């Protein structure tokens, strides 16, 4: 009788030990897999700005879309019309999906309404990307909010082949529908990119 109890106790200890060991191994292995997966996406997307990732615009000069699409120079960094030039490069050996998104910057100045901030995204040959080649260009307020990032506004989504690099020009201007005000108003945002 005592021998049966000892065998039952030993069997129970072995089963419990195996359960605990498998539980520990599961979580260790899971962390290794997640760690590898997150390392794989690190540093595969390189973003290079010709000047700055911040864009600022003020309410001094509303212009038509026709004129805004032709702006040259990097004046948007100083709050005047122009464009911000940047490139995105896939440094991995695999094709990746990416998103270019904008985040609003905090300011002490009176904020210019998002519905007057016009956006026009082209390549470095001034060819418009899809959704920017239509007659009605987007304004900041019409951008889609990212599901996993409430402060992020989707500007463009695309793919890059292995080692591929794409150049972008983001033109920003004050819509001609803006009623000129004597109060100084500003709007500022940052350009970001990520792998998806």
Evaluate if residue 162 carries a pLDDT over 60. yes
Evaluate if residue 184 carries a pLDDT over 60. yes
Find the domain containing 23 and state its range.
Answer: 1-42
Whether residue 31 is found in the same domain as residue 121: no
Whether residue 60 is found in the same domain as residue 3: no
Evaluate if residue 34 carries a pLDDT over 60. no
CA nearest neighbour of 178 among 8, 58, 11, 85: 58
Tell me, what's the pLDDT at 187? 92
CA atoms of 142 and 135, how far apart (whole Å): 15
- pLDDT tens string 167-176: 999 999 999 9
Q: What is the dihedral of CA 136, 141, 142, 148, to 10 degrees?
A: 150
Share of the chain above pLDDT 70, in %: 83
**Average pLDDT of 35-55?**
71
Whether residue 34 is found in the same domain as residue 118: no
Give this prediction's pTM: 0.74
Tokens of 174: 């004050």
CA nearest neighbour of 155 among 169, 140, 166: 140
Return the residue matching tokens 């999906």. 97
> How far is residue 58 from each of residues 35, 81, 91, 127, measured CA to CA in Å?
44, 9, 36, 26
Beta strand pairing status for 185-195 and 54-58? antiparallel
Whether residue 70 is found in the same domain as residue 38: no
Whether residue 60 is found in the same domain as residue 19: no
**Average pLDDT of 98-108?**
93
Q: What is the mean pLDDT of the chain?
A: 84
- Tell me how many domains the chain contains: 2
Distant-in-sequence contacts of 74-80, Cβ < 8 A, 24+ apart: 74/50, 76/170, 76/171, 76/172, 77/51, 77/52, 79/186
Whether residue 20 is found in the same domain as residue 87: no
Q: Categorize the per-residue pLDDT at 23 as very low, low, confident or very high, splitting at 50, 70 and 90.
A: low
Tokens of 185: 């108003």
Whether residue 27 is found in the same domain as residue 69: no
CA atoms of 14 and 60, how far apart (whole Å): 78
On whether the CB atoms of residues 171 and 71 are closer than 8 A, the answer is yes
Whether residue 57 is found in the same domain as residue 23: no
**Average pLDDT of 92-105?**
95
- Range among 30-44, 65-79, 108-122 with highest mean pLDDT value: 108-122
Whether residue 9 is found in the same domain as residue 83: no
Whether residue 64 is found in the same domain as residue 122: yes
**Average pLDDT of 65-72?**
87
Whether residue 61 is found in the same domain as residue 134: yes
- Range among 12-16, 20-24, 127-131, 136-140 with highest mean pLDDT value: 136-140
CA atoms of 30 and 24, how far apart (whole Å): 10
């Amino acid at each position: 009788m005592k021998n049966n109890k000892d065998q039952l106790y030993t069997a129970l200890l072995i089963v419990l030990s195996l359960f605990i060991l498998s539980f520990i191994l599961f979580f260790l292995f899971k962390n290794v897999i997640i760690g590898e997966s997150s390392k794989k996406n690190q540093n595969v997307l390189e973003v290079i700005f010709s000047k700055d990732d911040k864009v600022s615009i003020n309410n001094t000069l509303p212009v038509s879309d026709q004129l805004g699409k032709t702006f040259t120079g990097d004046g948007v960094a100083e709050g005047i019309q122009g464009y911000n030039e940047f490139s995105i490069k896939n440094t991995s050996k695999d094709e990746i999906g990416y998103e270019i998104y904008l985040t609003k910057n905090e300011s002490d100045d009176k904020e210019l309404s998002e519905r007057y901030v016009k956006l026009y995204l082209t390549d470095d040959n001034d060819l418009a990307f899809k959704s920017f080649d239509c007659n009605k260009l987007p304004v900041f307020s019409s951008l889609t909010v990212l599901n996993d990032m409430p402060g992020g506004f989707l500007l463009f989504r695309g793919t890059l082949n292995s080692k591929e690099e794409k150049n972008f020009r983001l033109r920003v201007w004050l819509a001609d529908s803006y009623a000129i005000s004597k109060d100084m108003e500003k709007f500022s945002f940052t350009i970001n990119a990520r792998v998806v």
